[in-house]
Structure 1
Amino acid sequence: MNSFSWKKIIPHVIAIAVFLIVAMVYCSPALEGKVLQQTDIVHWKGMAQDAFNYKATHGHFPLWNTHLFSGMPNYQVTMDTKSLLPDFGRMLQFYLPKPASYFFVACLCFYILGMAYGVNVLAAVLGSLGFAYATYDPIIISVGHETKMMAIAYMPGLLAGLVLIYRKKYILGLAVAALFATLEIGAGHPQVTFYLLITLGIMTLGYIVMWIMQKEYKHMLIALGLALIGGLIGVANTSQSLLTTYEYSKYTMRGGKTVDLSEDGKLTQTKTEGLDESYAFSYSLGMSEAFVLMMPNAFGSGSGEHLNPDSKVVAALAQQNVPEAQASQVAATLPKYWGGIAPFTAGPPYSGALVCFLAIIGLVVLVGNGSGKVDMVTRWWILAATVLMIFIAWGSYFAGFNRILFNHVPLFNKFRAPSMALIIPQLLLPLMAVLTLDRVFFAADAKEFLQKNFKQILYVSGGVIVLAGLVYVFNDYRGSYDTQILDGFTQQANSTVANSILQGMIADRKAMFAAGIGHILWIWILVIIGLYCYMKNIAKPVVILSAFIFVNTIDLLVVAKKYLNSESYQDESSYQAGNFAPTPADQQILQDTDPHYRVLNLSTGDPFNDAITSYYHRSVGGYHAAKLRMYQDIIENQFAKAGGGLNMGVLNMLDTRYVITRSQDQQQPMPVVQRNPDALGAAWFVKNIHYVNGPIEAIKALDHLNPKDTVIIDNAFKAITSQPVFDSAATIKLVSYDNDAIKYATNAKSNQFAVLSEVYYPEGWNAYIDGKETGYANVNYILRGIAVPAGQHTIEFKFEPASYYTGQKLVYIANILLWLTIAGSIFVLWKQNRPKKA
């Protein structure tokens, strides 16, 4: 065994330095202390501020969030997880500021994947930069999808672990797989991890077939066992998050529903176990739109971009005698984007034309070689996974296929936005490109291989351009927004003008697609020239790959800067003042020192898509992708029902003491506060109980409920409730109010029933009367209620989710296992590289 050599490290140091330089140059404002203005992060800070305030006082985050949707678990916002591990994520990010850290770690993880395959450093650098700066990444960073970005960044690391295991580097592979399984799952974006697991499953199936054909049964069992162990260590290391999320998901929108509101306003009882199909298939990719992987502007980029003043719409309207200035104004209101993703897309998931060409070449000619870097199944599993993910991305446009997956594949119906599946081609296309480069430039028989396959490479890659040309000729260039546009202009003008506008838009779309073909044409020429120059000894591989790296990286960065650039940043002080400065209305409400009241903010538009209010107040509204299903039912049936308006009875029982509206000043409308005198407070005794059968009766009964006197309870809870005996002198008072613990004092001469203005969530909230645990009921569809015996009593509610504490124990065990695998891999590497004895 050769001894360790520092010279072997130098190329890797240079590669990492390149990643650092590109990240720091692209994200230079972050190095100056500026921060990104990200919509989702602004909302997250709003929903998380209460938890940070709590931690400042108590030393830890609460498990319950009182500031979102009248109360919900805090698991999906921010949660303490004790660990025996250092922050491996930040270590891999070199402690760079955001978002430079995201791009750097994505490069680093892909580079690890390249090294797992043993490819040349230059090839790995090209793939790393291509993966990290694929346009989807800067787009999601710009809007604040940071957990998604981190989950994407860690994907190649987990894949690298399996590659090492399957190539018989067992201990090192186990350590890498366990570490990156921990990081991948811990990133907290289940949909990304779900698509990755499908991909790893396809890869593993391919290897199983190969091992059986080669009769490598022992290796197969070892490899599968170690891959499973690595995955289980990752699961256990994140079990606190996984167990609480799994438990919570059953009660959320993603866990299905029991009440369905039809378009005609009728309620029906149903039982689903996931998202509605129409909701799940929103944000589906148009079928020909898959070309955006290599033609970024062919479908008009993002929904927020509009046609240029020189649009063909102007000429089309001129034929209808519309003045040029007016026609230009019309064009400036029309969207460039004409793909299938609705209702909105920020931009295309462009992976780089050069990367795509190299990957396509490899998928055709890469059949393996003697070096062992590419085996007989590599191109097939990559091709299968890529095609499958494109099928999934088509969503509703390939409904027959995707409906089968939606109805029969576990977890598939928990996620929406199928276009997100293109993150897998974003990973696999650069991987295939890297393997192709390594094969044609650095294999022992590279030149002979290239000479033998050059014509095939030429025809296959040229065929892609021909295919794009056929799509150009036969595409109808109709977009998902066209019907709305036609209807709108038909009403404003007439159908002739509307059709002229549409024809002008179609002409623009053809021009954009043609420009996209021009873009891939010159990239194709560059690739072919590079391969030809090597084949004819005109240029060395180092020169050609350096040129490829430069062109591909610049190509990606030019597109990326449309979505994430210096204008995306601002000073920290401006950021705070612009997003969270309290309004006079906020300041007025904050003068109320009562620990229990809620706020409904109507001044921002939709209060149920606004978490800024939660920054300061216990909000009836909020913003969250996985709110409680029962709360969503209330929103749909009591707050947003057509013609119904806001049900004040429901607002009263939610203790909505303050409503923020807009002033009538047309010049400068300001938020103003209205106090609701009918808010019922933290808790109250009711005079009678109205029992119902099932959720339909319960939610309908809210329409005319007087919550002050009557409570609605499902018969399922009848055993732990009883009709109260009215006592006008009976009292229930809030003694203390904490996120995870609430205490009341009661005094009554007869048995009473108390309604508590707290959202019902049975997994963890335990009730105690005078220290003895007792049952409580789900009342008024979303609240808690409890039978109170006569006399003076103390009622306590404590949030004590067993899933959280069980997960904590599993985390400690898994931490130790991960340390052991890391130590074992370090020992093996040391043993392999230690100097030989003389």
Structure 2
Amino acid sequence: MKNFNFKALVPHLIAIGIFLIVAVIYCRPALEGKVLFQSDNVHWKGMAQNSFEYKAQKGHFPFWNTHLFSGMPNYQVAMEAKSFIPNLHAVFTLGLPKPIGFFFLACLSFYILCCTLKIRPAIGILGSLAFAYATYNALIIAAGHDTKMWTMAYMPALLAGLLLIYQKKYWIGLAVAVIAGNWEVAFSHPQITYYFVIAAGIITLGYIVKWVKEKEWKHLAISIALAALAGIASVANSAMTLLTTAEYAKYTMRGGKTIETSGTEIKKADTKGLDKDYAFQYSIGKSEILTAFMPGVFGESSFMHFDEDSKLVSELVARNIPENQASQLAASLPRYWGGMQEATGGTLYYGAIICFLAIIAMVVIKNPIKWWIAAAIVLFIFMAWGRNFSGFNAFLLDYFPLYNKFRSPNTALIIPQFLLPVLAVMGLQEIFFTAKGKEELQASLKKIYYALGGLFVITLLIYFFNDFRTAVDTQILAAYSNPQNGSNEMGSIIINALKAERKSMFLSSIFRALLFAGLVVGLLFLYIKNALKPLPVIIIFTVINTIDLLVISNRYLNADNYLDEDSYQSQSFNPTAANTQILQDKDAHYRVYNLSQDRFNDAITSYFHRSIGGYHPAKLRIYQDLIETQLARNPMNMDVLNMLDTRYLIIPPQEQQGQYGVYKNDSALGAAWFVKHIKYVNGPVEEITALDKFGPKDTVIIDNSLKNIAGNDPVYDSTATIKLEDYDNDEIKYSSTSNSPQFAVFSEIYYPAGWNAYLDGKKVNYAKVNYVLRGMPVPAGKHEIVFKFEPASYYTGQKLIYFGNMLFYLALAGAAFALWKQRKTATA
């Protein structure tokens, strides 16, 4: 310990202290016993409640979730694997409550990357705070996208590990990459990890070009091998989740579809991956990337409206609209007018100072890796344009591996959010702490002026040639047209007033950005003239940029997002009178259809009941087809609800009583039944169309391709019975008695990747029937029928986890040995 340099550690401790202080100040209510209210997290708790109740009884989570969409795999709701890796995540976050831990970890992770890049601590603090408090983070935390935020937070540390390997610090780099990669993958947000891998691959390609030029073949081989080993270890440690999810994805909306609906028409389809229209939802407009340094240029949020002092109100008044009416009208119109046709919660702002520093960095950095970083930034901006750059993105969707499994192109902007601060800190390091940094900065001033000036020229061109129209304007014109004479004079007045407001927002945003650009250039100019030292300049940049980001982020994540524990529980999970009434029914098998909520985007019902609806981003494809063609239609198809054993329907509150009503459906068919007839059809279109009216009590619909399993019509036996004996998430037992062969229909969702059927202990085949259910022939006599959910992917994944654990500890042991050897050499 005599050689330990505590003084060298002090700047890093100060950095960690600053990260903690900023996070605590911003998230103060979390330390006052309040709970962050996150809509998606509330939905997740609704989805997972049955799983936690199951675990309390059985000691482990179930594989199958009975409370969502009549039943679906539980893999992405609540799963666990056996691992010998300690919970280092709790160490990295200091056990801090949400959302403090989110921001602290993001700062710490980026700071590790800065240390790897040999960035001075003061500059590293600037970049870390910029990455952590970019507004997208506040938006996703407020919404409850916890796994997305954790996965994003580990990206910088994972890149740090890879760069250490590329710097020939092989064992240390491998250890950092394996640790960060383990948690990067473990939080199971494949889209974020996928984007990171592409970005890291582009940067790695830059290093490969350098090694090839320098003929460092051995280093190239070792680096690629160790990077691959880190990836293998990270993937192996999450193999159970990845394998089950990959298997499940084939049967979901992300796996393509066999039918397509267009209005009332149903036709055959054969697609792989998501539909283009669905995949390209949440595509930003081409000029919308300007929000990176001008947060208010497109109005920020669909949920923000205009106040009485806005330009919109004055424009409406100038067009002879009474002031009170103008104020009311303005308060109902969305500020957002960007390229996303869907609603958006807020602007994606990285900080004007960071953006301008990144542009300056492209001028002053000598390391050619800057071009590869810039290439990654540009690529992901193109990807974020989605349908607004359709030729390029349609090509990726059709031909780039796995690209068609993900939606929301705007998510791609996490990479510019990550890499722009990287460029900024590299640039400041070059300017302030290299031998000729100041001289080269002075020599580059003209180029810097051209670069920043060019950015503002492009911005002004967009301003002058913009029509300031957006998709919502068509809806406004339609809403305010006169139905009697077809006049849309009022709508035109509103649109013209909105255009004036948008021009005002755009112009004021340009002036705001010019102020920040002037600040950046001015401070650097004072540094050149020796009026300021590097540290004051860095501190000013850090303070102003952080405050700027916090002010904007605070619009989306603030004290209003927190509730005390009791209010959180009562607002989210207090049972209604209808729920309480239904819960009195202790029968082992029935389902509930809640018509008082958004049926297929509601997981609160799943908190209490086995729900026909639910909330999940990756529903089973066959169930999504059922929703689109049968469940969502009006009037309701009671045949379909009956076959799903829908015993209770929750009716919206009546205006007079104000209470949720409960309708008991006595026609629900129960857990299983014998049918009299088998109706064979050709293909999925005929199969799902046959559900329009078919009498599920007596008739079952089966595709012709399964005739070898289902056989011929059963021999009717009025005394035949089949009943449920035991109902468990992962194992269901029935008993049957009949004097002749029968065909049984089970009110359970068909999912062949794991559900096995056993007749008197012997494994037998079963068929997909009625498009979404299971069915099988049952011979005469008394029998026990058991369905067991035994996903082989889970057990294979568990074995691979042990292999990943071994690689994890091997990397740590290697790093420890390398440090010991290095220390021993230094003291020799």
Question: Which TM class, normalised by the smaller chain length?
Answer: over 0.9
Given residue 76 of structure 1, which amino acid in structure 2 is its aligned partner? Answer: Q
In structure 2, how many angstroms separate the alpha carbons of the residues matched to 1:759 and 1:104? 43
Secondary structure of the residue aligned to 2:332 is: coil
The alpha-carbon deviation at position 249 of structure 1 amounts to 0.2
Correspondence 1:638 to 2:637: no
1:546 aligns with 2:539: yes
What residue number does 1:700 align with? 689
| Partner residue in 2 for 1:580 | 573
Instruction: Say which of 643, 664, 688 aligns to 1:675.
Output: 664
Residues 1:271 and 2:257 aligned together: no
Counterpart residue identity of residue 769, structure 1: L
Amino acid at match of 1:656: T
The SS at the match of 1:735 is strand
Q: Which amino acid letter does the alignment assign opposite residue 687 of structure 1?
A: K
Residue 763 (structure 2) pairs with residue 773 (structure 1): yes
For 1:651 and 1:291, the matched residues in 2 are separated by 49
Give SS of 1:607's match.
coil
The DSSP-based 3-state class of the residue aligned with 1:787 is strand
- Aligned match of 1:601: 594
Match of 2:817? 827
CA distance in 1, matches of 2:555, 2:6: 41
Match of 1:339 in 2: 338
Match of 2:54 in 1: 54
Matches of 1:515 and 1:314, distance apart in 2: 17
Aligned residue for 2:354, secondary structure, equals helix
Contact 1:3 1:835 in 2 (8 A): no
Count of residues in correspondence between the two structures: 824
Q: Which one of 415, 421, 424 corresponds to residue 415 of structure 2?
A: 424
The offset of 1:806, in angstroms, is: 0.7
Report the counterpart of residue 456 of structure 2 in structure 1. 465
Instruction: Say if 2:250 is the partner of 1:250.
Output: yes
- Cα shift readout 1:233-260 (whole Å, capped 9, x = no counterpart): 1111110000000000000001100010
- For 1:569, the equivalent position in structure 2 comes to 562
Q: Distance in 1 between matches of 2:169 and 2:92?
A: 22
Task: After TM superposition, list the pairs within 5 Å mapping 1:453-532 onto structure 2.
Answer: 453-491=444-482, 494-532=487-525
CA distance in 2 between partners of 1:286 and 1:395 (Å): 9
1:80 counterpart = 2:75: no
Q: Distance in 2 between matches of 1:347 and 1:665?
A: 35
Residue 714 (1) aligns with residue 703 (2): yes
Equivalent residue, structure 2, for 1:727: 717
Q: Which residue of 1 aligns with 2:802?
A: 812
Give the Cα–Cα distance (whole angstroms) in 1 for the partners of residues 827 and 303 of structure 2. 67
**Displacement, 1:143?**
0.8
Cross-structure match for 1:373: none
2: CA distance, partners of 1:146 / 1:494: 48
Q: 1:690 aligns with which of 679, 684, 688?
A: 679
Distance 2:655 2:692 in 1: 33
Cα distance in 2 for partners of 1:56, 1:717 equals 40
RMSD between aligned alpha carbons? 1.4
1:316 Cα deviation (Å)? 3.6
Shift of 1:837: 4.6
Structure 1 stretch 479-488 or stretch 550-559: which is displaced more? 479-488
User: What letter corresponds to residue 285 of structure 1 in structure 2?
Assistant: I
SS in 1 for 2:726: strand
Partners of 1:313 and 1:500 within 8 A in 2: no
How many Å separate the matches in 1 of 2:3 and 2:248?
Answer: 53
Equivalent position of 1:379 in the other structure: 370
CA contact (8 A) 2:364 2:431 kept: no
> Unpaired segments of 5 or more residues in structure 1?
369-375
Instruction: For 1:250, give the aligned amino acid.
Output: K
Q: Which residue of 2 aligns with 1:371?
A: none
- Residues 487-515 of structure 1 show CA distances to partners (whole Å, capped at 9, x for unaligned) of 21124794222112111111111111112
Give, in angstroms, the shift of residue 319 of structure 1.
4.5
The AA in structure 2 aligned to 1:621 is: G
Q: Distance in 2 between matches of 1:758 and 1:284?
A: 37
Could you tell me how far apart the structure 2 residues matched to 1:138 and 1:226 are?
Answer: 35
Contact 1:311 1:504 survives alignment (8 Å): no
Aligned mates of 2:450, 2:4 — CA distance in 1: 45
Q: Percent identity at matched positions?
A: 56
Query: Given the alignment of the two structures, is residue 740 of structure 1 paired with residue 730 of structure 2, yes or no?
Result: yes
SS at structure 1 position matched to 2:444: helix
Residues 759, 782 of structure 1: 8 Å contact kept? yes
Could you say which residue in structure 2 is the equivalent of 1:620? 612
Aligned partner of residue 89 in structure 2, secondary structure: helix
Q: Which residue of 2 aligns with 1:314?
A: 313
**2 CA distance for matches of 1:16 and 1:314?**
47
Which of 399, 423, 426 is equivalent to 1:408?
A: 399
Deviation at 1:732? 0.7
Could you tell me whether the CA contact under 8 Å between 1:768 and 1:797 is conserved in 2? yes
Could you tell me how far apart the structure 1 residues matched to 2:97 and 2:825 are?
39
* Range with bigger deviation, 21-30 or 449-458: 449-458
Counterparts of 2:14 and 2:239 in 1: how far apart (Å)? 37
Listed as ranges, the gaps of 5+ residues in structure 2 are: none
* Residue in 2 that maps onto 1:372: none
SS at match of 1:743: strand
Structure 2 Cα separation of the partners of residues 603 and 135 of structure 1: 34
In the TM superposition, residue 467 of structure 1 has moved relative to its aligned partner by: 2.6
1:352 aligns with 2:341: no
Q: CA deviation at 1:657?
A: 0.2
How far off its partner does 1:449 sit?
Answer: 1.9
What secondary structure is seen at the aligned counterpart in 1 of 2:241?
helix
CA displacement at 1:342 relative to structure 2: 2.0
| SS of structure 1 residue aligned to 2:203 | helix
Q: How many Å separate the matches in 2 of 1:661 and 1:638? A: 19
TM-score by length of 2: 0.98
- Residue identity opposite 1:760 in structure 2: Y
TM-score (norm 1): 0.97
1:802 is aligned with what amino acid? A
- Once the 2 structures are TM-superposed, how far is the Cα of residue 463 of structure 1 from its aligned partner? 3.0
Q: In 1, Cα distance between the equivalents of 2:33 and 2:536? A: 37
